[in-house]
Amino acid sequence: MSVIERTAPVFDLPGVDGRNHTLEEYADAPVLVLIQSCNHCPYVLAWEDRINDLAREYAERGVKFVAINSNDAEAYPQDSFEAMVDHAREAGYVFDYLYDESQEVARALGSERTPECFVYDADRRLVYHGAVDDNRDEREVTRHYLRDAIEAALAGEAPPVAETPPVGCSVKYRS
């Protein structure tokens, strides 16, 4: 597992809300959570309600969540931008969901899996990389890696665990 960018990658990507989003628009957030995601992965589907709940919970503290889909939509049409719009609406996403058609952001992040979390502090230094928590089955979770990393970053501290293996489907890179 190798994270290429140790600071948040610069991006300008279309979102399912019809606007382009840039890294700069999240500058005031004390913590920025980027999540490599997609529409069809069963792991994303297993974790998306927990991610949505975390985004909702931390919104009042200024934490911003951004999901990014970089999958090759030609090979995986269910991950097309149009399908993203429908999926985000149906899942009730409360965070920005962006399309990285060029796959530049995924490559800058060194993304391998969906979902894969990248937590950045106020200076946009990477403080956590890996899984949302320790179990796909919400009833079996004992370690809350993403939550712990957000709490630590908000407190200006290092998270108790800075890196875990991401769990999920592979990012569908074009060859």
List pLDDT tens digits, range 134-144: 999 999 999 99
3-state DSSP call for residue 79? Answer: helix
- Domain membership of residue 138 (yes or no) is yes
The CA distance from 22 to 24, in Å, is: 5
HSE, side-chain direction, 13 A CA sphere, residue 150: 24
Range of the domain at 148: 28-170
Domain count, the chain: 1
- Domain membership of residue 10 (yes or no) is no
Mode of pairing for the β-strands spanning 126-130 and 32-37: unpaired
Nearest CA to 45 among 96, 114, 104, 110?
A: 114
CATH assignment at residue 38: 3.40.30.10
- Domain membership of residue 62 (yes or no) is yes
42/6: higher pLDDT: 42
Percent of the chain with pLDDT over 90: 95
On whether the pTM is more than 0.75, the answer is yes
pLDDT bin (cut points 50, 70, 90) of residue 44 is very high
DSSP state for residue 61 in the 8-state scheme: T
- Domain membership of residue 78 (yes or no) is yes
- Domain membership of residue 23 (yes or no) is no
